[in-house]
Amino acid sequence: MADLICLGEPLFELNACQDGRFKGGFGGDVSNVAVAAARQGIDVALLARVGDDQFGEKLRGLWSREGVNHEHVLSASSEDTGLYFVFHDGDGHHFVYRRKGSAASRMLPEHIPDDAISNARMFYTSGISLGVSPELQSTTQQAIHAARQSGISIAFDPNLRTALWPLDMARQVTHDAMRRCNIVLPGLDDARQLTGLYSPEDIISFYHRLGAEIVALSLGADGVSVSNGQGIHTIPGVTVPAVDATGAGDCFNGIFLSAFLKNKDAVKSAELANRGAALSTTGFGAVDPIPYEKDLTEGNHFND
């Protein structure tokens, strides 16, 4: 039985380095979350679809090395694994995607075994999984329904990507999904666009009214505000020599969920995840810099 089962779109990453070369790596928000959680020592499984190609094989190699169960990740002979490129400049990092018609975008509800979700303790997915394609949207919605019917906890990051779909549609579909979720993990910029609200307090109240028991609102470099509905606790950001924030939010989510599954304490989980997400920005790529459990418990990488 998995502690955490994640559904979404795996991607192969090509990250631009300062010398003009590209460093190969791994991405896809849900895959990143799965790896981050597995590095904290919990049992993690993945529901996904990749191409029967070298990129898909490299992703499987990653999951095997990281201890992420990928027995329910299907290989498609007629579609490719999605790719994305990361470029960096003075304004931050920028993405270019090659995902249209990918294997993940054509994942259907029947690709998920009947007991895969019900045998887990928690289910995680994101707004990207809802926005990539109509097929993956339907699959994600049915998976959320299955998790709800099974009585397991559901965690969700709206992870807004306006390049995938119009904002009005994203707002409607995402909020409909979030009504069924126990834990929501939005970023501040995404939440402002989706809710039309500005202050973290108003946004957190909105998501509680939507049905969330726990809200962990990422404030980027300013830390995180977390609430269980009884009060908001804001954890300040930590100072690190950041070079690449790719996947930092995914890293936060994976560490938060793994810690919460262990201790059921949202504030302590957010404190740990806040530190881990900061540490993940000190290296390039979405996966390589994700810290392991021992890196966080040693606690000697930060200047608070």
Distance, CA of 225 to CA of 191 (rounded, Å): 13
* pLDDT, averaged across the chain: 94
Per-residue pLDDT reduced to its tens digit, 21-57: 998 889 999 999 999 999 999 999 999 999 999 999 9
pLDDT for res 303: 46
For the chain, how are helix, strand and coil distributed in percent, rounded to 5?
40, 25, 35
Q: Please state, for a pLDDT cut of 70, what percent of the chain lies above it.
A: 98
pLDDT of residue 301: 52
Residues 6+ away with beta carbon under 8 Å from 178 = 156, 158, 184, 207, 210, 211, 212
5: CB partners within 8 A, 6+ apart = 44, 45, 46, 47, 116, 117, 120, 122, 123, 124
pLDDT digits (tens, 9 = 90+) for 171-203: 999 999 999 999 999 999 999 999 999 999 999
Nearest of 227, 209, 224, 203 to residue 271 by alpha carbon: 224
| pLDDT tens digits, one per residue of 202-213 | 999 999 999 999
User: Inter-axis angle of helices 266-280 and 248-263, to 10 degrees?
Assistant: 150
Asked whether residue 149 carries a pLDDT value surpassing 80, the answer given is: yes
Q: 236: helix, coil or strand?
A: coil
The CA distance from 160 to 221, in Å, is: 19
All domains of the chain in start order, with CATH: 4-9+28-79+103-291 (3.40.1190.20)
Please state, in angstroms and rounded to a whole number, the distance separating the CA atoms of residues 57 and 55. 5
What pLDDT does 298 receive? 66
- Give me the percent of the chain exceeding a pLDDT of 90: 82
pLDDT band at 72 (very low <50, low <70, confident <90, very high): very high
The answer to whether residue 304 scores a pLDDT higher than 50 is no
What letters, b where the CB count within 10 A reaches 16 and e where it falls short, cover 118-144?
bebebbbbbbbbbbbbebbbebbbebb
pLDDT surpassing 50 at residue 223: yes
Q: Which two tokens stand for residue 114?
A: 């009947």
Tell me the pTM: 0.94
